[in-house]
Chains A and B, each alone.
Chain A
């Protein structure tokens, strides 16, 4: 019953985000600030994780194929497939649910408990539009972040394979180029787009409607992480089912 109520409330929130717009000059500033916090601020961790996990994926694949009948270029191919289809869009988004998500929940949540949201409302500002819309817009740049993750993941795989002696440069590149399927890339970006929306709105929801004090802000951030991850996993399943089968 509570879940149903929250689910309805979530869509009411989305409607609120797109009504009574804040002055454009103010929104523009907020959007740039959010791009800095949410996107630029995540570059470092995304690059770091993507590079090393890409390397591990390549090593694991290489170690698991000692059958001489399996072609050598498979390491490159498998790395590309895992990184582009799952690791970069999905796995990275779960990590972002922790980083970006808890940041959004705690920043909006602390504005709620210190009555800053009430202050906005008293001034006649639509606080949902003011707070959530810029986050949503800036998260439209999220696919760039994931592109970087894809690129660095594959680069990590290449470095680990070539310098670890698991594959040669030629074999790895052959693997990367084989069976190129534009539809799969499209699928990957469709997922990313939906995950971006979830990453911006679900944590905002948890922050905006929280009750209580500073302690509850922490709790809200935790449950926001759980729910954002759950939504990403479910959406991942649904989109995969719809697009790839």
Chain B
């Protein structure tokens, strides 16, 4: 569980996050949604400690991040997996080396054990015949899957994903969503996902936080989002005619 209280963050005097409080629950896929530029990435990077908040606190299971010692932060970091918006694979390493990298750095396993574990997660994300390839030699969707494999290889307690399905075709996109959902439930991970993919919102939005103008405008589940009459949310989520129809159908079905 991650608890955020009154989080503020800006750049060069321009505020981006203006006081956000929320809770991300364990074993659930928590989604952060909002327009491009609304501060989703900044929010996620603040949770990860990549940005230092100007005000407010972030607690991981009741431990306030900013109050941890360097060693405690290090221990926490080893329990965190992160999938970056652009995958962020190390381009000087092969797929297998990328996935093995966190283990190389932090585990005492033998090389064979590391390789076995790497191959286990590579199989888990449905990647075949890619072990010896370099990131530049595989497609964007495959890169995303490698990045997921790297993020989960150390059995993290917290998983962060920045737009896991941007730039992917609908099939691969659903595959990745389901993978994240499965892993979250299987290992009881606290997962936080940035997204502006409406399909993901409906499918895996067990908890949704809607950001607008640097504030939390709304929060609830993917069931609630059909029923809400918060105009900001409905304008954003049901901007397309297709989504409007989906909503109408859902509301009629569940009357």
Listed in ascending order, the chain A residues whose CB lies under 8 Å from chain B are 20, 22-23, 25-26, 110, 114-116, 118-119, 121-125
Q: List 29 A-B contacts (CB under 8 A).
A: A20-B70, A22-B105, A23-B105, A110-B91, A114-B88, A114-B91, A115-B84, A115-B85, A115-B86, A116-B89, A116-B90, A118-B45, A118-B50, A118-B88, A119-B82, A119-B88, A119-B90, A121-B50, A122-B77, A122-B80, A122-B82, A123-B77, A123-B78, A123-B105, A123-B106, A124-B73, A124-B74, A124-B77, A125-B105
For B67, the chain A residues whose CB sits under 8 A away are none
Give me the interface of B with A, judged by CB distance under 8 Å.
45, 48, 50, 70, 73-74, 77-78, 80, 82, 84-86, 88-91, 101-102, 104-106
CA distance A174 to B48 in the complex (A): 67
Report the minimum CB–CB distance from A23 to chain B (whole Å). Answer: 6
* Count of A-B residue pairs with CB < 8 Å: 46
- Inside 8 A of A115's CB, which chain B residues have their CB? 84-86, 88
CB distance from A103 to the nearest CB of B (A): 13
A22-B105, A115-B86, A118-B88 are known; give 8 further A-B pairs, CB within 8 A: A23-B104, A118-B50, A118-B84, A119-B82, A119-B90, A121-B50, A122-B80, A123-B106
**A119, closest chain B residue (CB):** B88
Contacts of A125 in B (CB 8 A): 105
Closest-by-CB residue of A relative to B41 is A115
Smallest CB-CB separation from B78: which chain A residue? A124
B73 surroundings in chain A (CB, below 8 A): 124
**Residues from chain B with Cβ under 8 Å of A25 in the complex:** 104
Q: How far is the CA of A125 from the CA of B73 in the complex (A)?
A: 11
In the complex, A113→B88 CA distance in Å?
9
